[in-house]
Amino acid sequence: MEVFISRDQIFEKVNDLAAQIKTDYENENPLLVGALKGSFIMMSDLVRALDIPLEVDFLSVSSYGAGTESSGRIELRQDLKTPVENRHVLLVEDIVDTGLTLNFLIEKLQKRNPKSLRVCALLDKPARREVPVSIDYVGFTIPDKFIVGYGLDFDEKYRYLPDICCLED
Ligand code: IMP
Ligand code: MG
């Protein structure tokens, strides 16, 4: 499989993102919310690079089934354990594609009255956007390719790859 973004490039980018986030959230004890499963590796690298007091929680959504196209129906499989009200919330996503998942999550979290809500996504695929969403911290903007590795899967496979790779058709 072809390496699309190497582990070194990812490492550097996550550190850049952490530096920006750190200046914005120092002393705020933010709640980082990871969308499972894709964000789990990004989340663990990000929180270690941040090196500020923070809390972490996860929720789980699904829309893909076993294909490479979003089904468009987003389902909350597992909710947060942490109350969001009055917290500075940073939603951490692996990749934003159609934007449907992010839009769904933002609406859901916004209803719980966080003190602030921002989004960090390692990857952004704007070519396939169906709903406009704003992402506050973006790692890489990429073309319309299906990628795997660094937490991202195809049908639950390849999450373990340390580099982000392009899945051949
Ligand atoms: P969206 O709702 O279409 O924006 O899709 C968001 C979710 O789809 C992400 O959180 C990923 O789990 C998954 N996804 C989108 N594009 C890719 C990809 O290229 N590789 C692996 N998963 C992807
Ligand atoms: Mg996925």
DSSP type of residue 136: S
**Res 161: pLDDT:** 98
The answer, yes or no, to whether any atom of ligand 1 lies below 6 A from the CB of 97, is yes
Sheet holding 137-141, edge to edge: 75-78, 55-62, 31-36, 88-96, 116-124, 137-141
Quick check: helix, strand or coil at residue 157?
strand
The answer, yes or no, to whether any atom of ligand 1 lies below 6 A from the CB of 140, is no
* Catalytic annotation present for 97: yes
DSSP type of residue 39: T
Closest CA to 39 of 78, 84, 95, 77: 95
Taking the CA of 149 as reference, the closest ligand is: 1
Percent of the chain with pLDDT over 70: 94
The answer, yes or no, to whether any atom of ligand 1 lies below 6 A from the CB of 89, is no
Average pLDDT, integer, range 41-48? 98
**Res 66: pLDDT:** 56
DSSP type of residue 152: B
Q: Which residue has a Cα nearest atom 5 of ligand 1?
A: 97
Residue 12 has pLDDT above 90, yes or no: yes
DSSP type of residue 127: G
Q: 7, 163 in Cβ contact below 8 A?
A: yes
**Res 65: pLDDT:** 57
**Res 70: pLDDT:** 67
Catalytic-role residue among 45, 94, 97, 163: 97
Average pLDDT over the chain, rounded to whole? 94
For 114, other C-beta atoms within 10 Å of its C-beta total 21
Residue 63 confidence class, pLDDT cut points 50, 70, 90: confident
